[in-house]
Chains A and B, each alone.
Chain A
Amino acid sequence: MSNIKLKIDEQEYSAEQGQTILEVAEDNGIEIPTMCHNGRISQTTSCFVCVVKNKETGQFMPSCSTRVDDGMEIEVESDDVFEMRQSALNLLLSEHIGDCEAPCTIACPAHAQVEEYIREGKNGNFTKALEIIKRKIPLPMSIGRVCPRFCEQDCRRNVVDEGQPVAINDFKRLAADKEFDNYLEDLPELQDSKVAVVGGGPAGISAAYYLRREGIRSDIYEKMPKAGGMLQYGIPKFRLPKHFVDKEIQHFDKMGGVDIFTNQELGKDIQLEQLKKDYDAVVLAVGSWKPGSMYAEGEELADGGIKWLENVARNDFSAENPGKTIVVGGGNTAMDCVRTAVRLGSDEVYCYYRRTEKQMPAEQIEIDEAKEEGVQFKFLSQPTKVRKENGQLIVTFKKMELGEKDASGRRRPIPIEGSEYDVKADTVIAAIGQKTIAPEGSKTNKWGDIEINEENGYMADNVFAAGDCVTGPATVVEAVAAGRNAALGIEAFLRGEEYEKPYEINVSRGHWQSLSKDDLVYLKELTDRKREKLEYIPLEKRKNSFEEITHTFTEEAIAREGERCLECSCTDKHDCKLKDYSEQYLAGPEAITGEKRVYEADTRHPDIIIDRNKCIKCGTCVKVCKEVVNESLLDFRERGFDTNITTAFGEQLPLSCADCGECIKECPVGALDWRNKERAR
């Protein structure tokens, strides 16, 4: 064996005659990506992701198969090589069909690992489920109750049972109710740096929580007597009992490193400029609390929805009967107002909305529950005037009709001239949205919300911002996602770096509405189980008290519900070379597009799934079976773009394959895998 010399990216290395470029690179700690190279089998030389460039000839060569020569000069990391690898990956992605991540996780603003915590919940491992949930959702008891469930809207179960997605949020609720007290995160030691969080609502709590998980201390400044923000003062306790919120906030005591200072209002009790000096970084999470205008004459006679709810909450939900109540607006705050009015004793509660029920931004379940509780809805009516005559409030409404769609995609309400009518009321509440009051010294956009770098929550100087004060009124789950993002931004900022969200790809089979039952791949037999129903307390009790209206699912119900999950995400998502390298080389499924070949997944074997839609045709499985296992149960068929893998004579793989699994182990993607996802990992 003669020693030969070669140059890789200008650096000289010595190698043995007969070695491949890839081997030499590996020996010297130089990383070359490859999908199809596998030391256990003879070369396949198929993927061409491992290409390098011969500097002298300008030729690209697969490094897995090209043997080194004396005096060779090779480029491994040049732009040309990068682009060539990227193109190879783009081409592989252009024929790849599957779901890297389940649609529920993609739909969740916090990208919670839904499928994983459902599996743990189904199996009764609630601590593990909670641990997974809290990686992305720090307030699982609250969100487990009030989340509008973006995940469920995109749940693929809808393909099988339309309108009955898996009851995903109830897994969070049960896991948190059962195990919240018993679970404490693995926490790193606290560092010296410290962050000021202005606002103790979901965004602020989330920022402080994830900063703590990074080992960074924080002080939360809350203007109200209690932290929790909208969870504490906005959402009424029949939907979210306050002891849950308190518990979630008190969790900081267990974690340590986070102090909460209440009754501290920015601009009054504390000043931004001072916080910037006193702390290494500041997070603005002040929410969006200023009531919006009805643009009606005399509207000051009406209460603002959020303000009204806040007052009720501050008095521990024991306010006076508001009498005949008119709530104007169609969102969740309006629903909270009408239902609170019912509980305060009013037997005449009306919701007035300028469009129709179909356009209401409130969740359908809230509307339905309000109707059950006796709330009456009046649609296509907009207030033009509020006045008081002899101590009696009178609201003048104008009738509306729906016109063309507006920017939000909803049909625009148009006033009908001369259609005014008067309605008497004791209480009038305007629940028509809120606006942000941006703190002095913050950067704002045209809506008056704080402007940040969305990658990392950064505003200016050492100030970050998150939550409703950035987005305008939104959901709790969006606020916690933003809070976590700001925490990651600050963590990098304190190290002197700028946080960028990692480039991630997601191949998707598509939204459930575009899919049929045959388009899905089922890892297990499809059960025809219907969605478990939430249990309600009796209606009379709902109307007369602020008791929480639903019961948390039982463990049995959760186990049944978990069976409904189709486990959409790829069996190989944690170990897929195509995904990993595509992200490394900035390749994506949309870069080059074209026809794809669709194959039916082969699930004839009880333990093994062959999903040729994901296959990259490298033939590793064929060679592993032949050369390592000494069988010939797999081979190629067809030619050109139709080339694919087949079992011997198209028959089912023998049952004994379950004891081998060598092909599964070596498949660089998820084309060959165990049907049991725990085994697949």
Chain B
Amino acid sequence: MIKRIKVGTASCGIAAGADEVYDYLSKNVTDHDVVEVGCIGHCYAEPLVEVETEDRSYFFENVEPTEEDLKNILDVGEEKRLTFRKERKDKELLKVSRLAGRIVPTSLQEYKENGGYQALEKALEMDPDNVVEEVKNSGLRGRGGGGFPTGIKWGLLAAKEDETKILICNADEGDPGAFMDKSLMECVPHQVMEGMLIAAHATGASEVFIYVRAEYPRAIEHLTTAIDQIIENKINVLNGKEIGIQVKEGAGAFVCGEETAMIHSLEGKRGMPRFRPPYPTDDGYKGHPTVINNVESYANVPVIISEGADEYSKVGTEGSKGTKLFALAGDLEYTGIVEVPMGITIGEIVYDIGGAEKGSVKAVQIGGPSGGCIPAKHFDTPVDYDSLNSLGAIMGSGGLIVIGNNRCMVETARYFLDFTARESCGKCTFCRVGNMRLLETLERITKGNGTQADIDLLEDLGPKIVDGSLCGLGQTAPNPVLSTLRFFKDEYKAHVEDKVCPALVCNDLVEIEIDHDTCIECMACVKTCPVDAISDDIEVDVDTCTRCNSCIEVCPVDAISRIPLRGE
């Protein structure tokens, strides 16, 4: 017996057409409730519909707003039924994201029915110092990338006598390919708020800010609704003390994810980092003691308080406790969000959970654009803060981009650096000018104009940018370059010495070849070519061709391929 039908309408779902599916189902299903929920992490399967029955749930993937799919769903048919793969089920550990995609995000009642705000109640009965102690003991480290022990930060704030103390939630998730925080805010906004309120109680903070990027409208909408409910129900009155809550929309500067830049931005100034110390706990928002934690860190807090530090810290490795959310993207089968115990290997995430074929993957870029590339040969590395650092990558906020064999590592480094170089705040010489010079050098190499001197420049300047920048952006921006240089130097050498892109990606080093033995002269390529580079006798004019691959895609017999550019 169907209880209700849930449509995942987090932004990933909407992007795949979930709005249309929801509208269609709401209009055409009269006997059951159709509700909007968040995302369960299986983004590859969107639009995703869950049919909740008395005893269990059934999931349907890639649902379309059609009569056929509707019938199938209502019959709980086999068609499009999503079976959760055992490989993934075995490796995942859903704790923080337990309710994501399962409840209506903007329903306070539903959150409460599923254990919501019980952790806050429990915390309010505890002495604030004990709450701080509990978080310390849990071993929770900042999920935003830095990995600083959250409890210690809280302790510093709690020790301050100031009347005004500030808590900020860093929801300025800016890494391309990272969307864990967005998902948590869209799917379980109350859980994030509960974590913040527990933190406010523990630290004695009087005001909390959520600094969320304006590019996350749905997260803002859900958070705002949740906050309205909190205020209406006086959940923010902690043992008689009312906590002010404000949402601040960031204007999209990546560097505002850095804590001192974020404080400047909140104060209405240009988002530019400053030298630390003084740390925000000593001199933060408008001079008040301030602690900044990431969305996922806050979302961990109710879990810690509910189950206790001892239980929480059973999961993970020596230095990295609990679970971590990763946003899986790139060249793999099952993209989406996964929650895994710390200490799982990269290989388990990529192959078992992500379903990538062994041998098809060259590396992962972990930690966003400022992270580093880890080659497949190191996929047995456990995912924890310290192991990743030792390989020149960072945990970062949890973006994990799988790079297939068909990608060029020089171009990949160029792509990431292009992002960070643009997003530099412009303050530090090394970051502002140095990253631009690195980028230009990479461009020269990918265009086939590079020399050994260019590789030398990358190796000389890269570490200096790391050493000569104030904030995390500059300190990590050269990471993609330095880690690819470390693990894929042969690809750089090939571009420079042989003027060859081994992955046949860099257009200036590639030409299009038609195998006339295979060709059936269907003329599809000739008709498709947008620049008329293929003649009627099916020869490619190298100078006109833009290497757009249209011909390759359209060829029915795979007679066309990219080959290394032949010299004069």
Interface string of A609-647 (1 = CB under 8 A from B): 000000011010000000000000001101111111000
Cα–Cα, bound, A60→B435 (Å): 18
Q: Which of A46, A59, A635, A638 contacts B429 (CB 8 A)?
A: A46
Contact B274 A84 (CB under 8 A): no
Residues of B close to A641: CB separation below 8 A:
421-422, 424, 426, 432-433, 435-436
User: Nearest B residue to A83 by beta-carbon distance?
Assistant: B464
Q: Is A62's CB within 8 Å of the partner chain B?
A: yes
Known: A88-B468, A592-B461, A594-B437. A640 touches B423 (CB 8 A): yes
User: Nearest A residue to B424 by beta-carbon distance?
Assistant: A640
Using a CB-CB cutoff of 8 Å, which residues 23-64 of chain A contact chain B?
Answer: 43-49, 51, 59-60, 62
B462 CB to closest chain A CB, in angstroms?
Answer: 11
Known: A43-B275, A91-B433, A643-B432. A617 touches B440 (CB 8 A): no
Residues of B close to A95: CB separation below 8 A:
433, 436
Report which residue of B272, B425, B426, B470 has the largest number of chain A beta carbons within 10 angstroms of its beta carbon: B426
Contact A617 B270 (CB under 8 A): no
Cα–Cα, bound, A48→B433 (Å): 12
Contact A643 B424 (CB under 8 A): yes
Known: A84-B464, A88-B468, A641-B424. A594 touches B430 (CB 8 A): no
Q: Is A595's CB within 8 Å of the partner chain B?
A: yes
Contact B427 A45 (CB under 8 A): yes
Cα–Cα, bound, A644→B424 (Å): 12
Q: Which of B421, B432, B457, B464 contacts A617 (CB 8 A)?
A: B432
Contact B427 A88 (CB under 8 A): no
Residues of B close to A65: CB separation below 8 A:
275
User: Nearest A residue to B433 by beta-carbon distance?
Assistant: A91
Contact A60 B467 (CB under 8 A): yes
Q: Is B325's CB within 8 Å of the partner chain A?
A: no
Q: Is B428's CB within 8 Å of the partner chain A?
A: yes
Cα–Cα, bound, A616→B433 (Å): 10
Known: A65-B275, A67-B277, A594-B440. A639 touches B425 (CB 8 A): yes
Q: Is B434's CB within 8 Å of the partner chain A?
A: yes
User: Nearest A residue to B275 by beta-carbon distance?
Assistant: A65
Interface string of A637-671 (1 = CB under 8 A from B): 01111111000000000000000000000000000
A643 CB to closest chain B CB, in angstroms?
Answer: 2
Using a CB-CB cutoff of 8 Å, which residues 23-67 of chain B contact chain A?
Answer: none
Cα–Cα, bound, A641→B437 (Å): 10
Residues of A close to B424: CB separation below 8 A:
639-641, 643
Q: Which of A46, A94, A592 contacts B427 (CB 8 A)?
A: A46
Interface string of A592-615 (1 = CB under 8 A from B): 101100000000000000000000
User: Nearest B residue to A644 by beta-carbon distance?
Assistant: B426
Contact A91 B467 (CB under 8 A): no
Q: Is A523's CB within 8 Å of the partner chain B?
A: no
Cα–Cα, bound, A639→B440 (Å): 17
Residues of A close to B275: CB separation below 8 A:
43, 45, 62, 65-66
B442 CB to closest chain A CB, in angstroms?
Answer: 12
- Chain A contact surface mostly: loop
Report which residue of B277, B428, B433, B457 has the largest number of chain A beta carbons within 10 angstroms of its beta carbon: B433
A621 CB to closest chain B CB, in angstroms?
Answer: 14
Contact A51 B468 (CB under 8 A): yes
Interface string of A91-112 (1 = CB under 8 A from B): 1101100000000000000000
User: Nearest B residue to A595 by beta-carbon distance?
Assistant: B440
A479 CB to closest chain B CB, in angstroms?
Answer: 40
Using a CB-CB cutoff of 8 Å, which residues 253-284 of chain B contact chain A?
Answer: 253, 255, 270, 272, 274-275, 277
Known: A51-B468, A636-B272. A617 touches B426 (CB 8 A): yes
Cα–Cα, bound, A62→B470 (Å): 9
Residues of B close to A44: CB separation below 8 A:
427
Contact A48 B436 (CB under 8 A): no
Contact A640 B436 (CB under 8 A): yes
Q: Is A127's CB within 8 Å of the partner chain B?
A: no
Q: Is A218's CB within 8 Å of the partner chain B?
A: no
Cα–Cα, bound, A37→B421 (Å): 25
Using a CB-CB cutoff of 8 Å, which residues 64-90 of chain A contact chain B?
Answer: 65-67, 84, 87-88
Contact B467 A92 (CB under 8 A): no
Q: What class of interface size applies to chain B in its complex with A?
A: 20 to 34
Using a CB-CB cutoff of 8 Å, which residues 409-450 of chain B contact chain A?
Answer: 421-430, 432-437, 440
Contact A87 B425 (CB under 8 A): no
Residues of A close to B428: CB separation below 8 A:
45-46, 48
B457 CB to closest chain A CB, in angstroms?
Answer: 7
Report which residue of A46, A88, A91, A638 has the largest number of chain B beta carbons within 10 angstroms of its beta carbon: A91
Known: A88-B430, A592-B457, A594-B437. A45 touches B423 (CB 8 A): no
Contact B436 A87 (CB under 8 A): no
B478 CB to closest chain A CB, in angstroms?
Answer: 13
Contact A592 B437 (CB under 8 A): yes
Residues of B close to A643: CB separation below 8 A:
424-427, 432
User: Nearest B residue to A66 by beta-carbon distance?
Assistant: B275
Contact B437 A640 (CB under 8 A): no
Contact B461 A639 (CB under 8 A): no
Residues of A close to B435: CB separation below 8 A:
640-641
User: Nearest A residue to B441 by beta-carbon distance?
Assistant: A594
Using a CB-CB cutoff of 8 Å, which residues 138-168 of chain A contact chain B?
Answer: none
User: Nearest A residue to B254 by beta-carbon distance?
Assistant: A639
B417 CB to closest chain A CB, in angstroms?
Answer: 11
Residues of B close to A66: CB separation below 8 A:
275
Q: Which of B270, B461, B470 contacts A87 (CB 8 A)?
A: B461
User: Nearest B residue to A89 by beta-carbon distance?
Assistant: B429
Residues of B close to A43: CB separation below 8 A:
274-275
Residues of B close to A60: CB separation below 8 A:
467-468
A46 CB to closest chain B CB, in angstroms?
Answer: 5
Known: A60-B468, A65-B275, A594-B440. A92 touches B433 (CB 8 A): yes
Contact A91 B426 (CB under 8 A): no
Known: A65-B275, A592-B437. A639 touches B423 (CB 8 A): yes
A345 CB to closest chain B CB, in angstroms?
Answer: 66
User: Nearest A residue to B277 by beta-carbon distance?
Assistant: A67
Contact A616 B429 (CB under 8 A): yes
Report which residue of B422, B423, B440, B464 has the largest number of chain A beta carbons within 10 angstroms of its beta carbon: B464
Residues of B close to A594: CB separation below 8 A:
436-437, 440
B306 CB to closest chain A CB, in angstroms?
Answer: 40
User: Nearest B residue to A92 by beta-carbon distance?
Assistant: B429
Q: Which of A48, A67, A635 contacts B468 (CB 8 A)?
A: A48
Contact B426 A640 (CB under 8 A): yes
Using a CB-CB cutoff of 8 Å, which residues 442-480 of chain B contact chain A?
Answer: 457, 460-461, 464, 467-470
Cα–Cα, bound, A91→B460 (Å): 13
Contact A91 B427 (CB under 8 A): no
Q: Which of B422, B423, B440, B467 contacts A59 (CB 8 A)?
A: B467
Contact B464 A87 (CB under 8 A): yes
Cα–Cα, bound, A84→B461 (Å): 9
B464 CB to closest chain A CB, in angstroms?
Answer: 5
User: Nearest A residue to B270 by beta-carbon distance?
Assistant: A636
Cα–Cα, bound, A105→B110 (Å): 80
Cα–Cα, bound, A51→B470 (Å): 11
Q: Which 9 residue pairs spanning A and B have beta carbons closest together?
A: A643-B426, A65-B275, A91-B433, A641-B436, A60-B467, A45-B275, A640-B422, A48-B468, A594-B440
Given contacts A43-B274, A640-B421, 18 further A-B contacts (CB under 8 A): A43-B275, A44-B427, A45-B275, A46-B427, A46-B428, A46-B429, A51-B468, A84-B467, A84-B468, A87-B434, A94-B433, A592-B457, A639-B422, A640-B423, A640-B436, A641-B424, A642-B426, A643-B427
- Residues on A lying within 8 angstroms of B by beta carbon are 43-49, 51, 59-60, 62, 65-67, 84, 87-88, 91-92, 94-95, 592, 594-595, 616-617, 619, 635-636, 638-644
17 A-B pairs (CB sep. < 8 Å): A48-B468, A62-B470, A84-B467, A87-B460, A88-B429, A91-B429, A91-B437, A594-B437, A617-B426, A617-B432, A619-B427, A636-B270, A639-B253, A639-B424, A640-B436, A641-B422, A643-B427
- Residues on B lying within 8 angstroms of A by beta carbon are 253, 255, 270, 272, 274-275, 277, 421-430, 432-437, 440, 457, 460-461, 464, 467-470
